[in-house]
Structure 1
Amino acid sequence: MKYWNYLLTTLFVAVFLMVTACSSEKKEIAVQPMEMHNLMQQITDVIVHDIFSPPVAARIYSYSSIAAYEVLSKHDSVYAPLAGQLNDFQGVPAPHQEIQPDIAALQSMYLVGKALVFSEDKMEDWNKSWKEDVLNRGIDETVFQNSLQYADTVAKYILAWANEDNYKETRTMSKHSLSNEPHHWEPTPPAYMEAIEPHWNLIRPFALDSSNQFIPEKPTPFSLDSTSQFYKEVMEVYDAVKDTDKEKEEIAGFWDCNPYVMNVQGHVMFATKKITPGGHWMGITKIACQLDSASLIKSAQAYALTAISINDAFISCWDEKFRSNLIRPETVINRHIDEDWKPILQTPPFPEYTSGHSMISSAAALALTELFGKDFHFVDSTEVKYGLPVRSYDSFILASEEAAISRLYGGIHYMPAINNGIKEGRAIGDFIVGKLDFHRQKQPSDKISQSNIH
Structure 2
Amino acid sequence: MKERFGLLLFLILVVSSCQKKEEPITITSEDYHNSVDKVTEVMIHDIFSPPVASRIYVYPNIAAFEILAQNNTKYKSLAGQVRGLEQIPAPSQTESINFELAALVAHIDMSKRLIFSEERIESYRDSLYTSWADKNEAVFNASKNYGLQVADHIAAWMDLDNYKQTRTMPKFTVNSDDPSRWQPTPPSYMSGIEPHWNKIRPFVIDSAGQFKPTPPPPFSMEEDSDFYKEVKEVYDISQEITAKGDESEEVAIAQFWDCNPYVSVTRGHLMFATKKITPGAHWIGIAKIASLKTNSDFAKTVYAYTQTSIAIADAFISCWDEKYRSNLIRPETLINEHIDDSWEPVLQTPPFPEYTSGHSVVSGAAATALTDIFGDNFAFDDDTEIPYGLPVRSFDSFKEAADEAAISRMYGGIHYRAAVEIGVKQGRDLGSFVVANLDLTND
TM-score, normalised on structure 1? 0.90
The residue aligned with 1:198 is 195
Task: Report the CA distance between 1:421 and its aligned residue.
Answer: 0.4
The residue aligned with 1:7 is none
1:89 and 2:85 are equivalent in the alignment? yes
Task: Report the CA distance between 1:55 and its aligned residue.
Answer: 0.4
1:50 to 43, 46, 49: 46
Task: Report the CA distance between 1:240 and its aligned residue.
Answer: 1.0
Cα separation, 1, equivalents of 2:147 and 2:435: 27
The residue aligned with 1:217 is 214
- Any conservation in 2 of the 1:42–1:123 contact (CA below 8 Å)? yes
Cα separation, 2, equivalents of 1:87 and 1:98: 31
The residue aligned with 1:353 is 355
2:184 to 181, 187, 191: 187
Q: What is the SS of the residue equivalent to 1:243?
A: helix
Task: Map 1:244-255 to 2 at 5 A.
Answer: 244=241, 245=244, 246-255=248-257
The residue aligned with 1:70 is 66
- Give the letter aligned to residue 188 of structure 1: T
The residue aligned with 2:103 is 105
Task: Map 1:305-454 to 2 at 5 A.
Answer: 305-439=307-441, 441=442, 443=443
Deviations 1:279-302 (A, max 9, x none): 011011111000000010100000
Cα separation, 1, equivalents of 2:129 and 2:370: 30
Task: Report the CA distance between 1:91 and its aligned residue.
Answer: 2.4
Task: Report the CA distance between 1:132 and its aligned residue.
Answer: 2.7
Task: Map 1:248-327 to 2 at 5 A.
Answer: 248-327=250-329
Unaligned runs of 5+ in 2: 1-21
Identical aligned residues as a percent: 53
- Give the letter aligned to residue 229 of structure 2: K
Task: Report the CA distance between 1:133 and its aligned residue.
Answer: 3.0
State how many pairs are aligned: 414
Cα separation, 2, equivalents of 1:124 and 1:94: 26
The residue aligned with 2:167 is 171
Cα separation, 1, equivalents of 2:379 and 2:221: 44
Deviations 1:121-148 (A, max 9, x none): 0001111122233345x3x321210111
Cα separation, 2, equivalents of 1:93 and 1:386: 41
The residue aligned with 2:118 is 120
Cα separation, 1, equivalents of 2:423 and 2:132: 44
Cα separation, 2, equivalents of 1:125 and 1:287: 26
- Give the letter aligned to residue 151 of structure 2: A
Cα separation, 2, equivalents of 1:207 and 1:240: 38
Task: Report the CA distance between 1:98 and its aligned residue.
Answer: 2.5
- Any conservation in 1 of the 2:360–2:427 contact (CA below 8 Å)? yes
TM-score, normalised on structure 2? 0.92
Cα root mean square deviation, aligned = 1.0
Cα separation, 2, equivalents of 1:87 and 1:370: 21
- Give the letter aligned to residue 401 of structure 1: D
Deviations 1:188-207 (A, max 9, x none): 00000000000000000111
- Give the letter aligned to residue 337 of structure 1: I
The residue aligned with 1:236 is 233
The residue aligned with 2:34 is 38
Deviations 1:405-452 (A, max 9, x none): 00000000000000100111000000000000012x3x2xxxxxxxxx
- Give the letter aligned to residue 221 of structure 1: P
Unaligned runs of 5+ in 1: 1-22, 444-454
Cα separation, 1, equivalents of 2:285 and 2:236: 32
Cα separation, 1, equivalents of 2:303 and 2:425: 25
- Any conservation in 2 of the 1:67–1:109 contact (CA below 8 Å)? yes
Cα separation, 2, equivalents of 1:134 and 1:389: 37
- Any conservation in 1 of the 2:133–2:141 contact (CA below 8 Å)? no
- Any conservation in 1 of the 2:106–2:148 contact (CA below 8 Å)? yes
